[in-house]
Protein backbone atom coordinates (compact mmCIF):
# COMPACT_ATOMS: atom_id res chain seq x y z
CA UNK A 1 0.00 0.00 0.00
CA UNK A 2 1.45 3.44 -0.90
CA UNK A 3 2.34 5.77 1.94
CA UNK A 4 -0.26 8.37 2.89
CA UNK A 5 0.35 11.85 1.53
CA UNK A 6 1.26 14.54 4.09
CA UNK A 7 -1.52 16.50 5.77
CA UNK A 8 0.64 19.64 6.01
CA UNK A 9 2.95 20.88 3.25
CA UNK A 10 5.32 23.84 3.51
CA UNK A 11 6.81 25.61 0.50
CA UNK A 12 9.98 27.71 0.59
CA UNK A 13 13.73 27.67 1.10
CA UNK A 14 15.68 25.59 3.60
CA UNK A 15 19.20 26.67 4.50
CA UNK A 16 22.22 25.68 6.52
CA UNK A 17 22.66 27.83 9.62
CA UNK A 18 25.87 28.93 11.34
CA UNK A 19 24.87 30.36 14.72
CA UNK A 20 27.34 32.22 16.94
CA UNK A 21 27.83 30.17 20.10
CA UNK A 22 28.09 33.22 22.38
CA UNK A 23 28.03 36.98 21.75
CA UNK A 24 31.47 38.22 20.70
CA UNK A 25 33.01 34.77 20.24
CA UNK A 26 34.37 33.63 16.83
CA UNK A 27 32.73 30.22 17.13
CA UNK A 28 29.65 29.14 15.19
CA UNK A 29 27.44 26.11 15.65
CA UNK A 30 26.22 24.45 12.47
CA UNK A 31 22.48 23.98 12.34
CA UNK A 32 19.51 24.24 10.02
CA UNK A 33 17.13 27.02 9.10
CA UNK A 34 14.78 28.48 6.56
CA UNK A 35 11.46 29.72 7.87
CA UNK A 36 9.13 27.25 6.17
CA UNK A 37 11.45 24.31 6.90
CA UNK A 38 11.49 25.35 10.56
CA UNK A 39 7.68 25.51 10.42
CA UNK A 40 7.53 22.01 8.94
CA UNK A 41 9.79 20.53 11.60
CA UNK A 42 7.84 22.24 14.39
CA UNK A 43 4.61 20.77 13.05
CA UNK A 44 6.21 17.32 12.73
CA UNK A 45 7.49 17.41 16.32
CA UNK A 46 3.92 18.01 17.46
CA UNK A 47 2.89 14.80 15.71
CA UNK A 48 1.62 16.19 12.41
CA UNK A 49 2.19 14.49 9.05
CA UNK A 50 4.34 16.92 7.05
CA UNK A 51 6.19 17.32 3.77
CA UNK A 52 8.52 19.99 2.43
CA UNK A 53 8.31 21.42 -1.10
CA UNK A 54 11.50 23.02 -2.39
CA UNK A 55 14.82 22.52 -4.18
CA UNK A 56 18.32 22.06 -2.77
CA UNK A 57 21.76 21.85 -4.29
CA UNK A 58 23.56 18.61 -5.07
CA UNK A 59 26.12 19.42 -2.39
CA UNK A 60 27.07 18.44 1.17
CA UNK A 61 24.79 21.11 2.66
CA UNK A 62 21.81 19.80 0.69
CA UNK A 63 22.54 16.26 1.83
CA UNK A 64 22.70 17.45 5.44
CA UNK A 65 19.21 18.90 5.02
CA UNK A 66 17.82 15.67 3.55
CA UNK A 67 19.26 13.64 6.42
CA UNK A 68 17.84 16.11 8.94
CA UNK A 69 14.34 15.99 7.42
CA UNK A 70 14.43 12.20 7.38
CA UNK A 71 15.33 12.17 11.08
CA UNK A 72 12.43 14.56 11.73
CA UNK A 73 9.94 12.41 9.76
CA UNK A 74 9.38 15.17 7.21
CA UNK A 75 8.54 13.76 3.77
CA UNK A 76 11.27 14.77 1.30
CA UNK A 77 9.59 13.32 -1.78
CA UNK A 78 8.85 16.86 -2.96
CA UNK A 79 12.38 18.27 -2.58
CA UNK A 80 14.04 18.58 -5.99
CA UNK A 81 17.82 18.20 -6.35
CA UNK A 82 19.31 20.96 -8.53
CA UNK A 83 22.75 19.92 -9.80
CA UNK A 84 23.61 23.40 -11.09
CA UNK A 85 22.79 25.60 -8.08
CA UNK A 86 23.88 25.64 -4.42
CA UNK A 87 22.04 25.20 -1.16
CA UNK A 88 21.72 28.52 0.69
CA UNK A 89 23.50 29.29 3.98
CA UNK A 90 23.19 32.02 6.61
CA UNK A 91 24.95 33.27 9.73
CA UNK A 92 23.45 34.42 13.04
CA UNK A 93 25.40 36.73 15.37
CA UNK A 94 24.26 37.96 18.78
CA UNK A 95 24.74 41.34 20.43
CA UNK A 96 23.16 43.95 22.67
CA UNK A 97 20.57 44.77 19.99
CA UNK A 98 19.54 41.12 19.58
CA UNK A 99 20.39 38.67 16.82
CA UNK A 100 21.49 39.61 13.32
CA UNK A 101 21.20 37.53 10.15
CA UNK A 102 23.56 37.53 7.16
CA UNK A 103 22.55 35.42 4.16
CA UNK A 104 24.38 33.78 1.25
CA UNK A 105 21.41 32.71 -0.85
CA UNK A 106 21.63 34.51 -4.23
CA UNK A 107 21.11 32.02 -7.07
CA UNK A 108 20.27 29.19 -4.67
CA UNK A 109 18.51 26.04 -5.82
CA UNK A 110 15.31 27.05 -4.04
CA UNK A 111 15.23 30.39 -5.85
CA UNK A 112 15.16 28.46 -9.15
CA UNK A 113 12.06 26.45 -8.21
CA UNK A 114 9.28 26.79 -10.82
CA UNK A 115 5.59 26.06 -11.32
CA UNK A 116 6.52 22.94 -13.30
CA UNK A 117 8.21 21.49 -10.20
CA UNK A 118 5.07 21.54 -8.02
CA UNK A 119 3.75 18.20 -6.66
CA UNK A 120 0.11 18.67 -7.68
CA UNK A 121 -1.17 15.38 -6.21
CA UNK A 122 0.32 16.16 -2.79
CA UNK A 123 -1.00 19.73 -2.84
CA UNK A 124 -4.47 18.44 -3.71
CA UNK A 125 -4.40 15.95 -0.82
CA UNK A 126 -3.07 18.29 1.88
CA UNK A 127 -5.24 19.72 4.64
CA UNK A 128 -2.98 22.77 5.01
CA UNK A 129 -0.33 24.39 2.83
CA UNK A 130 2.06 26.92 4.36
CA UNK A 131 4.26 29.59 2.81
CA UNK A 132 5.80 32.90 3.79
CA UNK A 133 6.86 36.26 2.50
CA UNK A 134 10.29 34.76 1.90
CA UNK A 135 8.74 32.04 -0.28
CA UNK A 136 7.46 34.88 -2.48
CA UNK A 137 10.54 37.11 -2.32
CA UNK A 138 13.47 34.87 -3.24
CA UNK A 139 12.75 35.03 -6.99
CA UNK A 140 9.99 35.72 -9.49
CA UNK A 141 9.97 32.03 -10.47
CA UNK A 142 9.54 30.93 -6.85
CA UNK A 143 6.83 33.56 -6.38
CA UNK A 144 4.90 32.23 -9.36
CA UNK A 145 5.26 28.69 -8.02
CA UNK A 146 3.98 29.76 -4.62
CA UNK A 147 0.84 31.35 -6.06
CA UNK A 148 0.22 28.32 -8.27
CA UNK A 149 0.54 26.10 -5.19
CA UNK A 150 -1.96 28.27 -3.31
CA UNK A 151 -4.45 28.13 -6.18
CA UNK A 152 -4.20 24.36 -6.56
CA UNK A 153 -4.35 23.63 -2.83
CA UNK A 154 -7.34 25.88 -2.17
CA UNK A 155 -9.25 24.56 -5.18
CA UNK A 156 -8.93 21.11 -3.60
CA UNK A 157 -10.10 22.17 -0.13
CA UNK A 158 -6.84 22.86 1.72
CA UNK A 159 -6.38 25.74 4.11
CA UNK A 160 -3.52 28.11 3.30
CA UNK A 161 -1.41 29.55 6.11
CA UNK A 162 0.86 32.51 5.49
CA UNK A 163 3.61 34.06 7.61
CA UNK A 164 4.43 37.59 6.44
CA UNK A 165 8.15 37.22 7.33
CA UNK A 166 9.16 40.49 5.68
CA UNK A 167 12.80 40.64 4.53
CA UNK A 168 13.55 44.00 2.91
CA UNK A 169 16.99 42.76 1.81
CA UNK A 170 15.12 40.52 -0.62
CA UNK A 171 12.67 43.03 -2.11
CA UNK A 172 11.53 46.66 -1.79
CA UNK A 173 8.66 47.50 0.54
CA UNK A 174 6.21 48.64 -2.20
CA UNK A 175 6.56 45.32 -4.03
CA UNK A 176 6.35 43.36 -0.77
CA UNK A 177 3.12 45.15 0.11
CA UNK A 178 1.56 44.53 -3.30
CA UNK A 179 2.50 40.85 -3.52
CA UNK A 180 1.59 40.06 0.09
CA UNK A 181 -1.75 41.81 -0.33
CA UNK A 182 -2.53 39.41 -3.15
CA UNK A 183 -1.33 36.44 -1.08
CA UNK A 184 -3.54 37.47 1.83
CA UNK A 185 -6.59 37.41 -0.44
CA UNK A 186 -5.98 33.68 -0.80
CA UNK A 187 -4.97 33.00 2.81
CA UNK A 188 -7.07 31.28 5.47
CA UNK A 189 -4.65 31.57 8.41
CA UNK A 190 -2.39 34.63 8.69
CA UNK A 191 0.60 34.42 11.05
CA UNK A 192 2.23 37.88 11.07
CA UNK A 193 4.83 39.22 13.48
CA UNK A 194 4.62 42.71 14.96
CA UNK A 195 7.59 44.25 13.14
CA UNK A 196 6.44 42.88 9.80
CA UNK A 197 2.90 44.18 9.89
CA UNK A 198 3.73 47.59 11.30
CA UNK A 199 5.96 48.05 8.24
CA UNK A 200 3.45 46.53 5.85
CA UNK A 201 0.37 48.37 7.13
CA UNK A 202 1.84 51.52 8.68
CA UNK A 203 -0.33 50.86 11.75
CA UNK A 204 0.85 50.54 15.36
CA UNK A 205 -2.43 49.48 16.93
CA UNK A 206 -3.23 45.79 17.35
CA UNK A 207 -6.84 46.11 16.34
CA UNK A 208 -6.02 48.23 13.31
CA UNK A 209 -3.44 45.66 12.25
CA UNK A 210 -5.70 42.62 12.57
CA UNK A 211 -8.55 44.55 10.94
CA UNK A 212 -6.28 45.22 7.96
CA UNK A 213 -5.34 41.55 7.76
CA UNK A 214 -8.92 40.27 8.09
CA UNK A 215 -10.16 42.69 5.44
CA UNK A 216 -7.97 40.97 2.87
CA UNK A 217 -9.62 37.59 3.43
CA UNK A 218 -8.06 35.43 6.19
CA UNK A 219 -10.50 33.90 8.67
CA UNK A 220 -7.85 33.64 11.40
CA UNK A 221 -5.08 36.09 12.29
CA UNK A 222 -2.55 35.19 14.99
CA UNK A 223 -0.38 38.27 15.52
CA UNK A 224 2.83 37.11 17.21
CA UNK A 225 3.87 39.31 20.13
CA UNK A 226 7.02 37.56 21.37
CA UNK A 227 7.08 36.70 25.06
CA UNK A 228 3.74 38.48 25.53
CA UNK A 229 2.02 35.78 23.48
CA UNK A 230 -0.27 36.29 20.50
CA UNK A 231 -3.24 38.46 19.60
CA UNK A 232 -5.68 36.08 17.93
CA UNK A 233 -8.57 37.37 15.85
CA UNK A 234 -11.39 35.90 13.80
CA UNK A 235 -14.24 37.84 12.21
CA UNK A 236 -16.27 37.26 15.39
CA UNK A 237 -13.79 37.27 18.30
CA UNK A 238 -10.36 38.55 19.28
CA UNK A 239 -8.18 38.43 22.37
CA UNK A 240 -4.61 38.18 23.64
CA UNK A 241 -3.53 34.62 24.35
CA UNK A 242 -0.76 35.01 26.97
CA UNK A 243 2.73 33.62 26.52
CA UNK A 244 4.77 31.46 28.90
CA UNK A 245 7.70 32.60 31.04
CA UNK A 246 10.97 30.76 30.31
CA UNK A 247 14.70 31.53 30.48
CA UNK A 248 15.20 32.55 26.86
CA UNK A 249 18.68 32.61 25.28
CA UNK A 250 17.98 32.76 21.53
CA UNK A 251 14.74 33.67 19.75
CA UNK A 252 15.92 32.47 16.32
CA UNK A 253 13.04 30.65 14.64
CA UNK A 254 10.58 31.14 17.50
CA UNK A 255 7.97 32.61 15.18
CA UNK A 256 8.37 29.69 12.79
CA UNK A 257 7.94 27.28 15.69
CA UNK A 258 4.77 29.11 16.71
CA UNK A 259 3.39 28.80 13.19
CA UNK A 260 4.15 25.11 12.82
CA UNK A 261 2.67 24.25 16.20
CA UNK A 262 -0.37 26.47 15.56
CA UNK A 263 -1.24 24.92 12.21
CA UNK A 264 -0.59 21.41 13.54
CA UNK A 265 -3.17 22.01 16.24
CA UNK A 266 -5.65 23.58 13.79
CA UNK A 267 -5.37 20.51 11.55
CA UNK A 268 -5.85 18.33 14.65
CA UNK A 269 -9.14 20.13 15.36
CA UNK A 270 -8.32 22.86 17.90
CA UNK A 271 -10.00 26.25 17.72
CA UNK A 272 -7.63 29.18 17.02
CA UNK A 273 -7.41 30.28 20.66
CA UNK A 274 -6.54 26.80 21.96
CA UNK A 275 -4.08 26.40 19.09
CA UNK A 276 -2.42 29.70 20.03
CA UNK A 277 -2.03 28.70 23.67
CA UNK A 278 -0.31 25.51 22.58
CA UNK A 279 1.83 27.36 20.02
CA UNK A 280 2.84 29.98 22.60
CA UNK A 281 4.19 27.20 24.82
CA UNK A 282 6.07 25.59 21.94
CA UNK A 283 7.57 28.91 20.83
CA UNK A 284 8.63 29.78 24.38
CA UNK A 285 10.46 26.47 24.77
CA UNK A 286 12.17 26.98 21.42
CA UNK A 287 13.94 30.07 22.82
CA UNK A 288 15.66 28.11 25.61
CA UNK A 289 18.44 26.83 23.31
CA UNK A 290 20.52 28.10 20.41
CA UNK A 291 19.59 27.73 16.77
CA UNK A 292 16.40 27.57 14.76
CA UNK A 293 15.79 23.81 14.81
CA UNK A 294 17.54 22.04 17.70
CA UNK A 295 15.49 23.70 20.49
CA UNK A 296 12.07 23.12 18.85
CA UNK A 297 10.19 21.08 21.47
CA UNK A 298 8.29 17.86 21.00
CA UNK A 299 4.67 17.54 22.01
CA UNK A 300 5.31 15.97 25.42
CA UNK A 301 7.50 18.91 26.52
CA UNK A 302 4.91 21.42 25.30
CA UNK A 303 2.14 19.68 27.19
CA UNK A 304 4.22 19.61 30.39
CA UNK A 305 4.74 23.38 30.19
CA UNK A 306 1.04 24.00 29.58
CA UNK A 307 0.06 21.79 32.50
CA UNK A 308 2.52 23.62 34.77
Can you give the three-state secondary structure of 150-216, one letter per residue?
HHHHHHCCCEEEEECCCCCCCCCHHHHHHHHHHHHHCCCEECCEHHHHHHHHCCCCHHHHHHHHHHH
Is 119 within 8 Å of 91 (Cβ atoms)?
no
List % helix, strand, coil for the chain (3-state, nearest 5).
40, 25, 35
**For this structure, is 188 an active site residue?**
no
Q: Are strands 74-75 and 189-190 parallel, antiparallel or unpaired?
A: unpaired
Helical ranges in the chain per DSSP H:
35-45, 60-71, 120-125, 133-137, 140-155, 173-185, 194-201, 206-216, 254-268, 272-286, 299-307
* Residues in a beta bridge with 56: 81
What pLDDT sits at residue 132?
98
pLDDT tens-digit profile, the chain (308 residues)? 457 899 999 999 999 989 887 788 888 989 898 999 999 999 999 999 999 999 999 999 999 999 999 999 999 999 999 999 999 998 888 887 777 888 888 899 999 999 999 999 999 999 999 999 999 999 999 999 999 999 999 999 999 999 999 999 899 999 999 999 999 999 999 999 999 999 999 989 999 999 999 999 999 999 999 999 999 999 999 999 999 999 998 888 999 999 999 999 999 999 999 999 999 999 999 999 988 899 999 999 999 999 98
Calculate Rg over the CA atoms of the chain.
Answer: 18
Q: Are strands 88-95 and 15-20 parallel, antiparallel or unpaired?
A: parallel
Domains of the chain and CATH, by start = 8-300 (3.40.1190.20)
Classify 133 as helix, strand or coil.
Answer: helix
Catalytic residue among 35, 144, 256, 270, which?
A: 256
Closest CA relative to residue 32, chosen from 294, 301, 295, 307: 294
What pLDDT sits at residue 24?
80
What pLDDT sits at residue 106?
87
Helix pair angle (272-286, 254-268), 10° resolution: 150
What pLDDT sits at residue 96?
79
Amino acid sequence: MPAALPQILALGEAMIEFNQSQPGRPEFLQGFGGDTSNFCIAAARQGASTGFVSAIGDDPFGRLLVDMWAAEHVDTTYVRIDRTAPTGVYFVTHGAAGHQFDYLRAGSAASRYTVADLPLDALAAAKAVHLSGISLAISSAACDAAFAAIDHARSNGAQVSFDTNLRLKLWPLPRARAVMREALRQTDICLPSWDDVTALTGANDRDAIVDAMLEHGPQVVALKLGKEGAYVATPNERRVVPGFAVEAVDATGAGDCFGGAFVARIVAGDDPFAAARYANAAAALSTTGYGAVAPIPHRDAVERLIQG
